[in-house]
Chain A
C-alpha cells in the first residue's frame, strides 16, 4: 500500500504538518490501517528529496517550530498519475488452501471432500461473522467501514462459490493425474508447445 501517495493525496487537500497528517490519515481511510508516525516522517523526507513536497517553517510560541508541508507542482502530477493508474490485485496463485486442496487430490490421509467441507465451514463462519458486523454497523457514520466489510463478504462469497465449484467437479478432479516429468530431450526444449498442451490436459475438466 502506498503511504507515499496517501500523504500526497492528503496534502492536496490543504498544507499540513506531520502530526496532523497522521491523524487525518486514520480518519479518512481507515482506523484499521495502522501507520506509524516514524513511517510518516521518513516518507515525507523521501517525498521532499524527490521534490514532490516542500515545507515551510511555522513558528509557534510555546512549542518547537513545525514543518508545514505542501504539495509541489511535480507532486501534483505524480498524484494525478497515481489516481489514473488502476490497481491490479494480485492473484493468489500461491493460495494456501489451493495448495492443500490440490495435494489432497493427489492422495493423502484426508479426503478432498472433507478438505473442502472444512474450508467451507470456516468460510461460512467468517461470512457469518462479517455479516453480523456489517449488520451492527451504523450506515450513517460507518460507511467506509461497511464498504470494507462488504468487500470482505463478497470475497468470501467468491471463495465459497469456488469451493462449491470444486465440489461439483470433484468427481472429474479425482480422475486427474498430474503430468509426469518429461524425460529430457536432446537439443533445445520446446517451451512454446508444452505450455498449451498442459492447458489442454486440464480442459476436459471444464466440460
Chain B
C-alpha cells in the first residue's frame, strides 16, 4: 500500500492570464519503505512537488494523501503538527539552528510537540547514534563539518519516527566524500529501518542509490524508473571489462 499518494496534483504560479504550471496533474504513489529520487532539470517542478508532499505549500488543485488522509485540507496549525510528527525534512542549506547544540537541534521537533526535554534529548541521542554521530551531540553546528551538519539534520528528520522523510538536495552543498557518506546513511535508514524516503536531487550518483527514480519535466512526470534490485555482479564485471579494456 502506498504511504504517500498524489492525485492530479497541480500547482500554478503567476497570473491567471499567464499561468505557469510548476506541477501539472501529477499522479504519484510512494510505497512504504521506498527510497524515491525525484530528478529533473531546474524549473521542472521537483522542489515544488517535494514541498507539496511535505505540506510546506498548498496545491492549486489536486490532493496529497499521507496514509490516505488528505493533507491539503488541513489548516496551518494542523499542518505544523503533521510536519513535526509525521514528516521529516532535510534541506540543502541552513539546516540547523546555529545557536543550539546538535542534540538540541535534533530534539527540536519533539520539544515543539511538547515532549519533555529530558525525553526529547534522549531520543535525540538515539537518532544521532543512528546517523553515526553519537559522540557529536554536544557540538554546535558551526563546530561540525558540512557532512556532519547534514547528518544531524537527518537525525532531526528521523527523531519523531516520521512516516516519510523528505530531502531537498541534501548533498547539494557537500563535497563528494561527505556526499557519499550522507547518501549511504540515507540508504541505510531505508534498508535497516524501512524508512520511506523521498529525495530531490540533480546528482545521478545520489539518485543511483534510490529504489526508484521519477523524472519531472515541465511539471509532469516523464519517466518513472523502478530500478531493479541489485544487478548481477557477473554481468557488471563483463560490462566493466569492456569499458576498462576499451
Q: Do A and B bind each other?
A: yes
Binary CB contact string for chain A from 15 to 59 against chain B (1 if under 8 A, 0 otherwise): 000000000000000101100000000000000000000000000
CB distance from A112 to the nearest CB of B (A): 13
- A125-B227, A156-B204 as given contacts; A117 in contact with B187, CB under 8 Å: no
A1 interface residue, CB < 8 Å from B?
yes
Which residues of chain B have C-beta atoms less than 8 A from A155's C-beta? 243
- A125-B228, A155-B243 as given contacts; A131 in contact with B208, CB under 8 Å: yes
Q: Contacting chain A: which of B21-29, B77-85, B124-132, B231-239?
A: B231-239
How far is B208's CA from A129's CA once the two chains are assembled, in angstroms? 8
In contact, A89 and B246 (Cβ under 8 angstroms): yes
Across the A-B interface, how many residue pairs have beta carbons closer than 8 Å? 81
How far is B236's CA from A151's CA once the two chains are assembled, in angstroms? 13
In contact, A124 and B207 (Cβ under 8 angstroms): yes
In contact, A1 and B236 (Cβ under 8 angstroms): no
B41 interface residue, CB < 8 Å from A?
yes
**Chain B: which residue is nearest A137 at the CB level?**
B233
In contact, A121 and B223 (Cβ under 8 angstroms): yes
CB distance from A121 to the nearest CB of B (A): 5
In contact, B204 and A148 (Cβ under 8 angstroms): no
In contact, A117 and B223 (Cβ under 8 angstroms): yes
Can you list 18 residue pairs at the A/B interface with Cβ under 8 Å? A1-B245, A32-B241, A33-B241, A113-B222, A117-B223, A120-B223, A124-B207, A125-B228, A127-B205, A127-B208, A128-B209, A128-B231, A130-B240, A132-B231, A135-B184, A152-B239, A152-B240, A157-B205
Which residues of chain A have C-beta atoms less than 8 A from B239's C-beta? 126, 152
| B positions within 8 Å CB-CB of A | 41, 184, 187, 204-205, 207-210, 213, 215, 222-223, 225, 227-228, 230-231, 233, 236-237, 239-241, 243-246
CB distance from A158 to the nearest CB of B (A): 10
Which residues of chain B have C-beta atoms less than 8 A from A121's C-beta? 223, 225
Which residues of chain A have C-beta atoms less than 8 A from B204's C-beta? 124, 127, 156-157, 160-161
A111-168 interface (Cβ within 8 A of B) = 113, 117, 120-121, 124-133, 135, 148-149, 151-153, 155-157, 160-161, 164, 167-168
CB distance from B178 to the nearest CB of A (A): 16
How far is B244's CA from A51's CA once the two chains are assembled, in angstroms? 30
In contact, B223 and A128 (Cβ under 8 angstroms): no
Most buried by B among A33, A89, A90, A129: A129
Which residues of chain B have C-beta atoms less than 8 A from A30's C-beta? 244
Which residues of chain A have C-beta atoms less than 8 A from B225's C-beta? 121, 124-125
In contact, B243 and A117 (Cβ under 8 angstroms): no
Which residues of chain B have C-beta atoms less than 8 A from A113's C-beta? 222
**Chain A: which residue is nearest B228 at the CB level?**
A125
- A124-B207, A164-B41 as given contacts; A133 in contact with B236, CB under 8 Å: yes
Could you say which interface size class chain A belongs to?
A: 20 to 34
CB distance from B26 to the nearest CB of A (A): 17
CB distance from A90 to the nearest CB of B (A): 6
**Chain A: which residue is nearest B235 at the CB level?**
A129
In contact, B231 and A151 (Cβ under 8 angstroms): no
**Chain A: which residue is nearest B184 at the CB level?**
A135
Most buried by A among B204, B210, B215, B228: B204
How far is B72's CA from A63's CA once the two chains are assembled, in angstroms? 83
Report the 6 A-B pairs with minimum CB-CB distance, sorted nearest first.
A129-B231, A127-B208, A131-B208, A128-B227, A160-B204, A128-B208
Which residues of chain A have C-beta atoms less than 8 A from B223's C-beta? 117, 120-121
Which residues of chain B have C-beta atoms less than 8 A from A89's C-beta? 246
How far is B243's CA from A89's CA once the two chains are assembled, in angstroms? 11
In contact, B240 and A117 (Cβ under 8 angstroms): no
How far is B183's CA from A131's CA once the two chains are assembled, in angstroms? 11
Which residues of chain B have C-beta atoms less than 8 A from A164's C-beta? 41
In contact, B244 and A129 (Cβ under 8 angstroms): no
**Chain A: which residue is nearest B211 at the CB level?**
A128
